Structure 1
Amino acid sequence: MTPLKIDLVSDIACPWCAIGYARLEQALTLAPELAVTLEWHAFELNPDKNAPQEAILPALSRKYGKSEEEMRQAQANMMQIASGLGINFSQLQQRKTCNTFDAHRLVKWADTQQKATAMKLALFDAYFGEAANVADRSVLAECAKNAGLDQRQAEQILASNDFADIVSADIAKYQQAGISSVPAFIINNKYLISGAQEPQQLAASLRQIASESIK
């Protein structure tokens, strides 16, 4: 099997990041000869921890300069895509904006127990499937439990500053590298694949990179 290292830069608040990961999983089933090591990296769409929460549709309308109806249609399109991938986006349009720094801290902690992906998926499900506030520490601790982690330990980490420096360094590193949108797939520390590409296209790109890496 051909080894590939994928550094996946994403945010819990990014629907396309959840779609991108699901498509990556499908791509890897199309390219079983690839042995992928995946590492999650932090990105913040809403970096202001003190910003008040806002209903997602007017927030997106203001951010992108489009009407709320246009944003509703765009979100509905994502919901349809997610449904085809088996992802729960049922509350996508009911969620509110939120800061995800603490959520990223839990992902870093989960990584020390080989459960980073499970933690990330639990967070996606809470935010997009339940419109839960993933800035709320009780919600985050429950997500940790759902990911198979110790809830009490998660609460202790959230009450401390554990992993904050690691998350801050992660965010700064990829900002300095020029990553301004997510998901961003960095392959073997050399190749960048931006956005949630279709599984067939992603599989072809990964195979091409793998073939160049072993030349």
Structure 2
Amino acid sequence: MTTVQIDIVSDIACPWCAIGYARLEKAMEELKDEMDFNIEWHAFELNPDPSGDGEPILQALSQKYGRSPEEMQATQANMMEIAAGLGLNFDKLQERYTRNTFDAHRLVKWAGEQGKQTEMKMACFDAYFGHAENISDADVLVKCVEAIGLDGNAAREILASDRYADTVREDEARYQQAGVSAVPAYIVNQKYLVSGAQEPDTLIGAFREITSES
């Protein structure tokens, strides 16, 4: 059995990151008799400004990409359809506000020490895309922590401190310096970069090619 290390650079505020991981799960399931996968999540912030209350997502995307709110609504509706086909809850995708995810990334690092990094990431995706909750709010983050069976009080103590802040910043800097400018990005066996929310078949082909080379 070949072991494959996948370092995933992603943001909790990135819908394609949630879709990409659901597709990756399908690829890993298909390859479970050939390969063992080790997953580690790394931080990226689409909205690094922690100030302000956020703005409605369609308005923000419209300004960012220079397209009409109607065009952005159509794009988001397409994503909702893709997500539903993968079993993801994107019900409130168009109702969310832009949010800073720095604190969420800190808790993902902490959850990783309890062996629940992926679970924390999924809980945050669900809160933000499925329920349009404020993913920068401490109460929302603690609820995510408790939903995956971790200690909410311990999470509150972390959020009230600066623990894991340096870890997240180092993570972000490392992958930016390595040339990652868009997410999701998968670094396979610390050597090969696969960019974007690729379809399961594409990922399966890439993993087979990479493991045959090594």
- Superposition TM-score tier, normalisation by shorter sequence: over 0.9
Note the 1:17-32 alignment, pairs <5 A: 17-32=17-32
1: CA distance between counterparts of 2:212 and 2:3? 11
Could you tell me the TM-score, scaled by structure 2's length? 0.98
Which shifted more, 145-154 or 13-22? 145-154
Aligned 8 A contact 1:30 1:200 in 2: no
1: CA distance between counterparts of 2:150 and 2:212? 37
1: CA distance between counterparts of 2:176 and 2:53? 24
Aligned equivalent of 1:65: 66
2: CA distance between counterparts of 1:15 and 1:36? 23
Query: CA offset at residue 147 of structure 1?
Result: 1.6
Aligned 8 A contact 1:61 1:67 in 2: yes
Note the 1:56-135 alignment, pairs <5 A: 56-135=57-136
Query: CA offset at residue 195 of structure 1?
Result: 0.3
Aligned 8 A contact 1:134 1:140 in 2: yes
1:13 has 2:13 as partner: yes
1: CA distance between counterparts of 2:11 and 2:149? 21
2: CA distance between counterparts of 1:120 and 1:129? 13
| TM superposition outliers: structure 1 runs of 4+ over 4 Å | none
1: CA distance between counterparts of 2:158 and 2:53? 24
The amino acid that maps onto 1:15 is P
Which shifted more, 51-60 or 164-173? 51-60
Query: CA offset at residue 51 of structure 1?
Result: 3.9
Q: Secondary structure at the match of 2:136?
A: coil
Query: CA offset at residue 37 of structure 1?
Result: 0.4
2: CA distance between counterparts of 1:143 and 1:103? 10
2: CA distance between counterparts of 1:147 and 1:10? 20
What is the identity percentage for the equivalent residue pairs of Structure 1 and Structure 2? 62
Query: CA offset at residue 52 of structure 1?
Result: 3.7
Aligned 8 A contact 1:23 1:196 in 2: yes
Unaligned runs of 5+ in 2: none
The amino acid that maps onto 1:95 is R
The amino acid that maps onto 1:5 is Q
Between Structure 1 and Structure 2, how many residues are aligned? Answer: 213
1: CA distance between counterparts of 2:29 and 2:99? 33
2: CA distance between counterparts of 1:70 and 1:151? 40
1:208 has 2:209 as partner: yes
Aligned equivalent of 1:186: 187
Aligned equivalent of 2:173: 172
Aligned 8 A contact 1:92 1:128 in 2: yes
RMSD: 0.7
Q: Secondary structure at the match of 1:93?
A: helix
Query: CA offset at residue 207 of structure 1?
Result: 1.1
2: CA distance between counterparts of 1:148 and 1:117? 13
1: CA distance between counterparts of 2:180 and 2:38? 21
Query: CA offset at residue 31 of structure 1?
Result: 1.4
Query: CA offset at residue 20 of structure 1?
Result: 0.5
Aligned equivalent of 1:158: 159
The amino acid that maps onto 1:13 is A
1: CA distance between counterparts of 2:104 and 2:64? 23
Give deviations 1:73-130, integer Å, cap 9, x for gaps.
0000000000000000000000000100000000000000000000000000000000
